[in-house]
Amino acid sequence: AQSVTQLDSQVPVFEEAPVELRCNYSSSVSVYLFWYVQYPNQGLQLLLKYLSGSTLVKGINGFEAEFNKSQTSFHLRKPSVHIRDTAEYFCAVSGPDTGGFKTIFGAGTRLFVKA
């Protein structure tokens, strides 16, 4: 069965430093990959998604992610974080291996940006 592993439950980082949030998935077949952000007491908002094509995906708020098929990874990066980036980040996967319409989420990574 398809699964998503977010390798870090919490990532503390200083403001203006770069950050990488790691995500691995289990499927060996074609997948669609997503990163969502959840601010306190809010729903999830899509940051970016990979469907096909270029392996480097750019999203909103200066985030980008790289799809690596051989390592089954989809790590999220930002070159310089702000205090307002403090939130919970979820990696997710869907596609034929999940039944088509089901999206499977990782457990989340809490990004804490310190001044």
Partner 1 sequence: DAGVTQSPTHLIKTRGQQVTLRCSPKSGHDTVSWYQQALGQGPQFIFQYYEEEERQRGNFPDRFSGHQFPNYSSELNVNALLLGDSALYLCASSRPGLAGGETQYFGPGTRLLVL
Residues that bind partner 1 (CB under 8 A): 4, 32, 36, 41-46, 49, 51, 90, 92, 94-96, 98-108
Which residue's CB is nearer to partner 1, number 73 or number 98? 98
Q: CB 70 → partner 1: shortest distance, Å? A: 22
User: How far is 99 from 114, CA to CA, in rounded Å?
Assistant: 40
Phi, psi of 113 (to 5 degrees): -100, 125
Which residue's CB is nearer to partner 1, number 81 or number 104? 104
Q: CB 17 → partner 1: shortest distance, Å? A: 25
Q: CB 9 → partner 1: shortest distance, Å? A: 9
Burial class (CB in 10 A: 0-12, 13-18, 19+), 24: middle
Which residue's CB is nearer to partner 1, number 77 or number 110? 110
Q: Which ranges of the chain does DSSP label H, i.e. alpha helix?
A: none
**2 alpha-carbon distance from chain centroid:** 16
